[in-house]
């Protein structure tokens, strides 16, 4: 609750908590399941895009169910509702070296309507498209049996790679061990990858600096995220935008070599929306899209003085603080106005949170804290020497000796 209060106060409207990875460990939620339902789908989709036999399954309602797909070995796959535009993608996942992959659906309640999805997979110059029809019910039929068995248990964890292996193994060696390829920037363009840049987190965790300038130059969609707390433990998206603007200002004089305020605003709006399954309905002000708006008090930005030649965009990005946000609207509903939340008593919520956390640590919490401290020396030894300063050429050289 504290996260939501802080983020709404500064006008951050989309909170995305996603888990994706090998074998498509991603969930297609009930909202997107419903988008693929409806009698109008029957008029637009007569069968799979390439004539293959549809995969028809029945899944239990209100349950997260895995749907396995057999496709090309090592394929990159995308999933969309059948009948929607081909650039509408809900999930992006990989197949293993044997061509096995899966996605999850979680429909709300039983329904006689059929949800239809297209799974498009590509490997090299080969492309396959599979129509999947999903029925939510507790009663099976001959036409809609349960999903086929999974090639791997849902909870199976593949043997881990050491840091050195992850960095040094070739693409073919990774595939042989059953891991997806490391995407490179050129592949990201072709397969519509999205990158969420968590600038504060990179600094806090000593993760290095993401090569944002290289991503932007290659046309890769980038977004801005906070990855938990931000640089000041305050989840301030406005400050995060300024940090992204400044952290990538490499030496030189060409403006196009570094992020502009327009790029940063795009990353925080349409860029962020595109990383979510409902990106087509967010990120811009347009008819038919969600009315998500943030109103900022101009006087607080321009006072006591603002050079008349300073653009509105530069002013908003570089001067807006949380106290300058006057109103926040989510899907047409005002949820914050004049320093007050309309649906939550902020003071009362924070009191409840404070009271709930002020008690002494429980025995298991003390044990976990001691365990983490005891493990730290072993973790440091494990990573000792993993970073070769001579072998890892940096993207940026802001502090060259020459």
Q: What's the token pair of residue 360?
A: 């002494």
- In this predicted structure, what is the pLDDT of residue 1? 47
pTM, two decimal places: 0.60
- Is residue 193 within 8 Å of 92, Cβ to Cβ? yes
- In this predicted structure, what is the pLDDT of residue 85? 58
- In this predicted structure, what is the pLDDT of residue 204? 87
List the domain boundaries for the chain: 27-136
Closest CA to 108 of 28, 193, 175: 28
CB-based contacts of 349, cutoff 8 Å, min separation 6: 1, 2, 5
Q: Kindly report the CATH class assigned to 27-136.
A: mainly beta
Closest CA to 68 of 11, 12, 145: 145
Closest CA to 96 of 56, 150, 46: 150
402 residues of the chain, pLDDT tens digit each? 444 555 556 555 544 333 222 233 333 444 444 555 554 433 333 333 444 688 999 988 877 788 888 888 878 788 888 876 555 555 667 777 778 888 778 777 666 678 888 888 888 788 888 899 988 888 888 888 988 887 655 444 455 566 566 666 666 676 666 555 555 555 555 455 788 999 998 888 888 888 999 888 888 889 999 887 678 888 889 999 999 999 999 988 999 999 999 999 999 999 988 887 677 788 888 898 888 999 999 999 999 999 999 999 999 999 999 899 999 998 899 999 998 999 889 999 999 989 988 888 889 999 999 999 999 999 888 878 777 777 667 778 777 776
CA 165 – CA 15 distance, rounded (Å): 33
Pairs from 361-366 (Cβ < 8 Å, separation ≥ 24):
none
- In this predicted structure, what is the pLDDT of residue 155? 45
CA 2 – CA 359 distance, rounded (Å): 18
- In this predicted structure, what is the pLDDT of residue 46? 34
- In this predicted structure, what is the pLDDT of residue 72? 87
Q: What's the token pair of residue 350?
A: 């924070």
- In this predicted structure, what is the pLDDT of residue 120? 87
- In this predicted structure, what is the pLDDT of residue 279? 75
CA dist list (Å): 170 to 7, 80, 176, 299 = 41, 31, 10, 56
- In this predicted structure, what is the pLDDT of residue 42? 36
Give the 3-state DSSP-derived string for the chain, with helices as H, strands as E and coil as C. CHHHHHHHHCCCCCCCCCCCCCCCCCEECHHHHHHCCCCHHHHHCCCCCCCCCCEEEEECCCCCEEEEEECCCCCEEEEEECCCCCCCCCEEEECCCCCEEEEEECCCCCCCCEEEEEEEEEECCEEEEEEEEEEECCCCCCCCCCCCCCCCCCCCCCCCCCHHHHHHCCHHHHHHCCCCCCCCHHHHHHHCCEEEECHHHHHHCCCCCCCHHHHHHCCCEEEECCCCCCCCCCCCHHHHHHHHHHHCCCCCCCHHHCCCHHHHHHHHHHHHHHCCCCHHHCCCCCCCCCCCEEEECHHHHHCCCCCCCCCHHHHHHHHCCHHHEEEEEECCEEEEECCEECCCCHHHHHHHHHHHHCCCCCHHHHHHHHHHHHHHHHHHHHHCCCCCCCCCCCCCCCCCCC
């Amino acid at each position: 609750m504290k996260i939501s209060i802080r983020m709404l106060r500064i006008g951050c409207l989309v909170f995305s908590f996603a888990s994706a990875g090998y074998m498509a460990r991603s969930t297609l939620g009930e909202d997107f399941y419903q988008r693929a339902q409806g009698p109008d789908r029957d008029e637009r989709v007569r069968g799979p895009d390439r004539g293959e036999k549809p995969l028809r399954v029945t899944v239990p309602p209100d349950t997260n169910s895995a749907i396995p797909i057999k496709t090309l070995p090592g394929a990159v796959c995308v999933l969309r509702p059948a009948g929607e535009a081909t650039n509408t993608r809900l999930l992006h996942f990989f197949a293993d070296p044997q061509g096995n992959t899966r996605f999850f659906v979680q429909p709300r309640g039983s329904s006689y309507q059929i949800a239809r999805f297209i799974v498009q997979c590509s490997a090299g110059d080969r492309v396959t498209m599979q129509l999947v029809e999903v029925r939510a019910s507790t009663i099976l039929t001959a036409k809609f049996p349960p999903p086929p068995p999974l090639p791997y248990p849902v909870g199976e964890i593949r043997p881990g790679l050491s840091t050195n292996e992850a960095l040094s193994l070739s693409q073919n060696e990774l595939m042989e061990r059953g891991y997806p390829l490391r995407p490179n920037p050129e592949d990201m363009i072709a397969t519509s990858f999205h990158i969420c840049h968590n600038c504060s987190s990179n600094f806090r965790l000593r993760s290095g600096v993401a090569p944002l300038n290289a991503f932007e130059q290659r046309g890769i969609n980038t977004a801005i995220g906070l990855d938990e707390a931000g640089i000041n433990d305050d989840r301030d998206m406005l400050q995060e935008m300024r940090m992204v603007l400044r952290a990538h200002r490499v030496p030189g004089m060409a403006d196009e070599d570094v992020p502009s305020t327009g790029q940063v605003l795009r990353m925080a709006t349409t860029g962020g929306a595109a990383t979510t399954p409902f990106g087509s309905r967010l990120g811009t002000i347009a008819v038919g899209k969600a009315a998500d708006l943030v109103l900022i008090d101009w006087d607080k930005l321009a006072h006591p003085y603002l050079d008349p030649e300073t653009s509105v965009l530069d002013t908003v990005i570089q001067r807006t603080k949380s106290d300058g946000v006057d109103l926040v609207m989510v899907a047409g509903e005002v949820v914050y106005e004049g320093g007050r939340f309309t649906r939550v008593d902020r003071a009362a919520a924070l009191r409840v949170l404070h009271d709930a956390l002020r008690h002494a640590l429980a025995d298991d919490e003390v044990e976990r804290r001691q365990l983490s401290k005891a493990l730290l020396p072993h973790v440091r030894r494990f990573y000792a020497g993993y970073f070769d300063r001579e072998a890892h050429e940096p993207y940026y050289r802001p502090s060259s000796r020459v």
